[in-house]
Amino acid sequence: MHVFITGATGWVGSAIVEDLLDAGHTVTGLVRDSHKAKPLIARGMKIVSSTLDDLGTLRAAASAADAVIHTAWGRDYSKIAENSEQDRQVINALGAALEGSNRPLLVTSGLLGLPAGATESDLPNPASPRKSEATAREWAERGVRAATVRLAPSVHGLGDHGFVPILIRIAKQKGVSAYIGEAQNDWAGVSRLDAARVFRLALEQGVTDPVYHAVADEAVSFKAIAERIGNRLGIPVESREPAHFEWFAHFAKSSMSASSARTRASIGWTPQGPSLLENLEQPGYYA
C-alpha cells in the first residue's frame, strides 16, 4: 500500500512512517524541513516539501496514494482556534481528493471534551473547537472511507514534546508540581510506538470503524502524574488554582480517560510499551 502522511517528521507521524515501512508499505510524507526528514528518507520515504497551507499540493499527493493519514497539527498548543481552522481545511482538501474512491483517510484527534471513560461509540463534543473528527464524519457521510484515531493526551516516550513536558516545564518554572483542586481527573496514555501501530493496523484491516482509540493506560490520575514529576524534580507537590497553569489550565483540569476495548478487538492491537508513569521515571524527561 502506498500511504501519504502529513506530519511525517512529527512525534507520532515519524513513528507511523517507520512502522509502515517496516511492514513493507511505501510512504510519501509531507515535510516542511527536508533536513529533518533525512533519517526517514534514508529508510525509503519519499517526500513532498510543502506546508499545510498548500491545499493544492495536499490534494495532488492524496490523489496519488492508496491511503492517507493526517497527523499534522500546529506547533503552538495555545493557538487552538487557528490550528483547528487550518486542520478543518486540510481534512476537506484530503477528503475531496479521495471522494468517489474506496481509498481510506485516517485523521487524528484527541479525547478532550469527551465524557470520562469514553468509548469509541461516544460522539465528539460539538462545542469543542477542534473539528478533526466532525469533519472526517462529514466526509464519511459523503461516501469517503474516513475515520478518526483519537490519541491519548499523553503519547509518551523519550523525545516527547506534548502535554507532559509542558507540565514538567511549568513545574520547573514555578517550583511546584501542581494539580487542581482535589485532582479528581484522570488522563489516558499510550506509548509513541503503540500509537503508531493503531494507524497501520486500522489501514491493514480496511478502516471498518469510524473511530479508533490509541489508548493503553485508560485512566492515570492527574495527581499521580504530578507526584511522579515532583518526586523526580525534588520539588513540592501541591494543589493550585487553575490560574497556576495559565493557558494550559483547561487541559490540566480535564478528565481525558477512555477505553480502547473495541479498538483492540477490531484490529488486533495489543499495547506493548511502558506505561506513562513508568516512562516518567526516565531521567531524559527532565533534561
Beta bridge partners, 220, equal 187
Least confident of 54-58, 181-185, 268-272: 181-185
Give the model confidence (pLDDT) of 19-53 as tens digits: 999 999 999 999 988 888 999 999 999 999 999 99
78: pLDDT strictly greater than 70: no
User: In CATH, which superfamily holds the domain spanning 2-152+192-215?
Assistant: NAD(P)-binding Rossmann-like Domain (3.40.50.720)
Domain boundaries, the chain: 2-152+192-215, 155-188+218-257+273-286
Q: What is the pLDDT of residues 95-149, one digit of tens each?
A: 999 999 999 999 999 999 999 999 999 999 888 888 999 999 999 999 999 999 9
* The pairing of beta strand 217-221 with beta strand 186-191: antiparallel
User: Average pLDDT of 63-73?
Assistant: 96
